[in-house]
Amino acid sequence: MTTSHLDPASLHSSLRDPVLGSIGFLNEVMARYPDAISFAPGAPYPGFLDGIDTERYTRRFLEHLADEQRLGPVKARRLLFEYGPSRGLINGVVAGALRRDHGIDAAPETLVITVGAQEALFLVLRALFPTSAEQLAVAVPCFPGVVGAARLLGIGLVGVRETADGIDLDALEAACRAARHAGRPIRACYVAPDFANPGGSRMSPESRHQLLRLATREDFLLLEDNVYGFTAASGAGLPPLKALDSEQRVIHIGTFAKVCFPGARVGYVVADQPVGARRTLADELAALKSMVTVNTSPLAQAVIGGMLLEHGGSLARLGRAKSALYQRNLTLLCAALERHLGAGEATGVTWNRPEGGFFVRVNLPVPANEALLEISAARHGVLWTPMSHFHLDDTGDTQLRLSCSYLDTEEIETGVSRFAAFLTQEIGS
């Protein structure tokens, strides 16, 4: 019997792109050093996953569904076990929360409930880039999910540096002009205005308005990723771009992975842009979705819908306790860095102090590469993410990312003390 051996070169070229290996690489290092304290995962705090009463939430959503659609309990329950509409089942509840909490005024039918924010990114990119004639601008360092989706779809990327105030608007304007002159204009720009992953930047209100004006001037669409907006300190939330968007230039993407739980795999996209005379971008995304995942699991949607309803249909109320814990962890992480490394300048190690999100960006005086991570893990029992994973090419980087979401108080303290020992002993700072 012969084995059909596949030549890697005979498979899609994106499979050889390093970005596809970035998550696997970190999982592999974590598996090899199970006792290490890991500042790598951007996953929610595991303590939040205990005691999620899926039955209660499902019941709560079923009552709502029976009421909203005037269905008997049997018919309502069946909806959870059947194939569902590609557009989703909880659109009304999510649209209500976006209006209440974020000032986003979107009709339920202009939302698509997706398999996490990742599917939303993929569908939007598929729809917006019919050919490779146009390009996607991204702030660098960039979330690998966007880079990976673009690579799978053969979409050209233009990296624009990120400042503490989000994407550098002058650099973006220059990139738009250069791309247009080169005959491959920028069709859309991906940004995460509230606490970007991995850089932790947050756009000021003024920068948000400037970005919208730039999008009008240069005629591109904005893909807004709002995964970490809920982590803002109480009373310090800023309006998302979509709430400021008077031209329907913004496609808004969110997820329940961090504010509820990631195993649900429920996210959403607001795509109210008209397409032709009678359709919207949401209609097109739902059509695409019907050929990718068909529909997002109705059971998972029911649990998430029920969780939202139990919190008065408010994303802010749903996220309040979690946001407080992430704020606490971020403060602890920055305070521990200060305690162990001083103000930074003397050691050549510096870091930012984000106002929210999961991540702190640390600058080293040497390349923060995979070889250095191996030393950190083997000799000091502490893991972090090399920032090179978030670049568009394989250029080295002297930065690394520390995530505080997955650890408890004690682990943060011990982890930073190990991290400081690693820096002192291995890079001589």
Ligand X SMILES: Cc1ncc(COP(=O)(O)O)c(C=O)c1O
Taking the least distance from each CB to ligand X, the nearer of 255 and 388 is: 255
Q: Give the residue, chosen from 101, 162, 194, 225, that forms a contact with ligand X under the rule CB under 6 A.
A: 225
Return left, alpha or beta for 103; rule: phi > 0 is left, psi -120 to 50 is alpha, else beta. Answer: left
Q: How far apart are CA 353 and CA 233, in angstroms?
A: 14
Query: Smallest gap, in angstroms, from Cβ of residue 258 to ligand X?
Result: 7
Q: At 161, is the secondary structure helix, strand, or coil?
A: strand
Query: Smallest gap, in angstroms, from Cβ of residue 295 to ligand X?
Result: 16
Residue 262 sits in the site that holds ligand X (CB under 6 A)? yes
Site string for ligand X, 181-210 (x = CB under 6 A): -----------x----x-------------
Q: How far apart are CA 174 and CA 137, in angstroms?
A: 12
Say how many CA atoms lie within 13 Å of 193 toward its Cβ: 27
Choose the stretch contacting ligand X; rule: CB under 6 A; options: 91-99, 114-122, 129-137, 363-371: 114-122
The runs of H, that is alpha helices, within 129-192 are 144-152, 169-181
Considering only residues 1 through 30, tell me which ones interact with ligand X, judged by CB under 6 A: none
Choose the stretch contacting ligand X; rule: CB under 6 A; options: 132-140, 149-157, 254-262, 341-349: 254-262
Query: Smallest gap, in angstroms, from Cβ of residue 423 to ligand X?
Result: 26
- CB burial of 108-126 (b: ≥16 within 10 Å; e: otherwise) equals bbbbbbbbbbbbbbbbbbb
Residue 118 sits in the site that holds ligand X (CB under 6 A)? yes
Q: What's the Rg (C-alpha) of the chain? A: 22
Q: Among all residues, whose Cβ is closest to ligand X?
A: 116
Contacts with ligand X by CB under 6 A: the residue count is 14
Query: Smallest gap, in angstroms, from Cβ of residue 147 to ligand X?
Result: 11
Q: Give the residue, chosen from 88, 193, 267, 305, that forms a contact with ligand X under the rule CB under 6 A.
A: 267
Query: Smallest gap, in angstroms, from Cβ of residue 209 to ligand X?
Result: 22
Q: Give the residue, chosen from 117, 186, 212, 404, that forms a contact with ligand X under the rule CB under 6 A.
A: 117
The answer to whether 121 and 253 have CB atoms below 8 angstroms apart is yes
385-386 and 359-363: which strand pairing? unpaired
Residue 166 sits in the site that holds ligand X (CB under 6 A)? no
How many residues are listed for the chain in this entry?
429
Q: How far apart are CA 8 and CA 380, in angstroms?
A: 37
Query: Smallest gap, in angstroms, from Cβ of residue 267 to ligand X?
Result: 4
The answer to whether 44 and 263 have CB atoms below 8 angstroms apart is no
Q: How far apart are CA 45 and CA 333, in angstroms?
A: 15
Q: Is the peptide bond before 8 cis (omega within 30 degrees of 0)?
A: no
The answer to whether 242 and 102 have CB atoms below 8 angstroms apart is yes
Taking the least distance from each CB to ligand X, the nearer of 199 and 306 is: 199
Considering only residues 345 through 404, tell me which ones interact with ligand X, judged by CB under 6 A: none
Neighbouring-strand partners of residue 167 = 162
Taking the least distance from each CB to ligand X, the nearer of 117 and 271 is: 117
Binding site for ligand X (CB under 6 A): 42, 116-118, 143, 145, 192, 197, 225, 227, 255, 257, 262, 267
